[in-house]
Amino acid sequence: MEYRIEHDSMGEVKVPADKYWAAQTERSHENFLIGVGIETMPREITHAFGILKKAAAIANHNLKPEKMTDKKLAAISEACDEVIAGKLNDHFPLVVWQTGSGTQSNMNANEVIANRGNEIAGEKLLHPNDDINMSQSSNDTFPTAMHISAVLAIEDKLFPAIDTLVDTFKRLEAENDDVVKSGRTHLQDATPIKFSQEISGWRSSLEKDKEMLKLALPELKQLALGGTAVGTGLNTPKGFDKEVAKAVSELTGKDFITAPNKFHALTSKDELVFAHGALKALAADMMKIANDVRWLASGPRDGLGEIFIPENEPGSSIMPGKVNPTQCEQVTMVAVQVMGNDVAVGMAASQGNFELNVFMPVCIYNFLQSARLLAESIVSFNKNCAIGIKANREKMHHNLHNSLMLVTALNPYIGYENAAKTAKKAFKEGISLKEACVALGFLTEEKFDEVFHPEQMV
């Protein structure tokens, strides 16, 4: 491998000749050999850095054009556009397990954009610190990248996934509005319910989860940029914070604003904790939905068997013909991961000592993993399972009329205690509710038929 010599305030460093990063990135690359190639800083953060560095250059150009010249802005903007498009991902090698402020990832962005910008300009025009990092600090850029990436992940990836599954459930509700089945509570038979009503519970849960995530967005759209090292805004021109938030908004199409209190923005991560709580709520609901689906589809002969789901792949290496509810299983595993991530996000957010939180990389790594996994999991579940759900109407009808809890319909006519005696006699002797009720002398056959209509109990 060929190398070139780069330098920083600590001296000279050998850097791979074909990479745009420089000395500080290389030092981190060598000093933190932890999860290399596996737990790289999320690409959503790289993308966000491209956005915020371009926005910072635009703001600096507006406020102090004598330092951020037209020529510099043009080179930085073109290099940032390549970062945003993911064209330079190979030049961002650093792992999550680095300095807790994300300083080295900020410098990685500064060095890559400077070197690529110089290549575009055809001259040594840009300096990583003086130009790309102008009016900034790692301490306000990394929190800003966290918020930008979180908003984009929720609005552009997770919301469309939720909407797709909600639409599927709406269709299934309409298709199954005439299907009445046995309800279940405590995993025991309960009074009847329409299948469409059961599905509506799934749909409503997802809709409420989306609303809770929406509640978190305004706080996530407040940016730390402009606070620099400790929140005072040292070395920034007046109005930079508002200008840079405006530029980020224009670049993303989202309504970002500057954080009203930069001291809070640098040290607290409560907005991410709050938002991740909504992600955990979504995970909990997806766990419930997936479990309901696999319970209802259990069988094919010795389970509930009340619905059919798509058969996607063989389920066993030893049992021929076995097919498993694998999409439900991936959903439940993702839910477990998100619930674990919630602990990590909360613990990381608790470490805002004095003027800076220094657990930011692990905080956003877990947050973005949760948002990404949920979005992809929901899309997969919808595509490979939910859209193919079909009611086993015959089995639902059989289970409904076999349920002893239909006896609840008799309460107004024979009373709770007599209804309980009827159910126990029917169960003990293996006879129908009608036979038990008539045998006990509580109702005649004619009166029983007059008042007993399971399909009307919904």
Ordered by start, the domain boundaries in the chain are 3-134, 149-175+195-220+263-391, 403-456
Q: What is the pLDDT of residue 387?
A: 98
Question: Would you write out the chain's pLDDT as a tens digit for each of its 458 residues?
Answer: 899 999 999 999 999 999 999 999 999 999 999 999 999 999 999 999 999 999 999 999 999 999 999 999 999 999 999 999 999 999 999 999 999 999 999 999 999 999 999 999 999 999 999 999 999 999 999 999 999 999 999 999 999 999 999 999 999 999 999 999 999 999 999 999 999 999 999 999 999 999 999 999 999 999 999 999 999 999 999 999 999 999 999 999 999 999 999 999 999 999 999 999 999 999 999 999 999 999 999 999 999 999 999 999 999 999 999 999 999 999 999 999 999 999 999 999 999 899 999 999 999 999 999 999 999 999 999 999 999 999 999 999 999 999 999 999 999 999 999 999 999 999 999 999 999 999 999 999 999 999 999 999 99
Helix (H) or strand (E) holding 300: none
Q: Please answer whether residues 128 and 111 qualify as being in contact, where contact means their C-beta atoms are separated by less than 8 angstroms.
A: yes
The answer for 284, left when phi > 0, alpha when psi is -120 to 50, beta otherwise, is alpha
Q: How far apart are CA 431 and CA 434, in angstroms?
A: 8
Q: Which of 7, 204, 316, 453 is catalytic?
A: 316
Tokens standing for residue 444: 């005649």
354 in the Ramachandran plot: left (φ > 0), alpha (ψ -120 to 50) or beta? Answer: left
- Has 186 been annotated as catalytic? yes
413 and 422 Cβ atoms separated by less than 8 Å: no
Q: What pLDDT was estimated at residue 272?
A: 98
> What pLDDT does residue 1 have?
87
Q: 197 with 179: CB under 8 angstroms?
A: no
Superfamily name with CATH number, domain 149-175+195-220+263-391: Fumarase/aspartase (Central domain) (1.20.200.10)
**For the whole model, what pTM was predicted?**
0.96
Q: What does the alpha-carbon distance between residue 187 and residue 78 come to, in Å, rounded to a whole number?
A: 60
The SS3 assignment for 354 reads: coil
182 strand-pairing partners: 192
| ∠ CA 283-287-291, rounded to 5° | 170
Helices (H), 253-392: 262-267, 270-296, 326-349, 360-384
Angstrom distance (rounded) from CA 338 to CA 309: 25
Distance, in Å, from the CA atom of 399 to the CA atom of 405, rounded to the nearest integer, reads: 11
* CA atoms of 420 and 240, how far apart (whole Å): 74
Burial (CB count <10 Å: 0-12, 13-18, 19+), residue 319: exposed
Task: Give which of 38, 37, 286 is closest to 166, Cα–Cα.
Answer: 286
| The one catalytic residue among 186, 200, 205, 298 | 186
Give the torsion sign (CA, 54, 57, 62, 68).
negative
Task: Quote the CATH superfamily of domain 3-134.
Answer: Fumarase/aspartase (N-terminal domain) (1.10.275.10)
Contact 405, 419 (CB under 8 A): no
Q: What is the per-residue DSSP string for 166-197?
A: HHHHHHHHHHTTT-EEEEEETTEEEEEEEHHH
Common-topology check for domains 3-134 and 403-456:
no
* 243 CB-near residues (< 8 Å, 6+ apart): 58, 59, 62, 63
> How far apart (Å, rounded) are the C-alpha atoms in residues 430 and 445?
18
**Which whole-number Å values give the CA distances from 266 to 104, 219, 224, 322, 360, in the listed order?**
17, 14, 6, 54, 10
Q: 433: which 2 tokens?
A: 């509710």
Give the per-residue pLDDT at 352.
87
Is 370 in contact with 279 (CB distance < 8 Å)? yes
Residue that has been written with the tokens 């064209």 in this structure: 87
SS3 357: strand
Specify whether domain 403-456 bears CATH 1.10.1200.120.
Answer: no
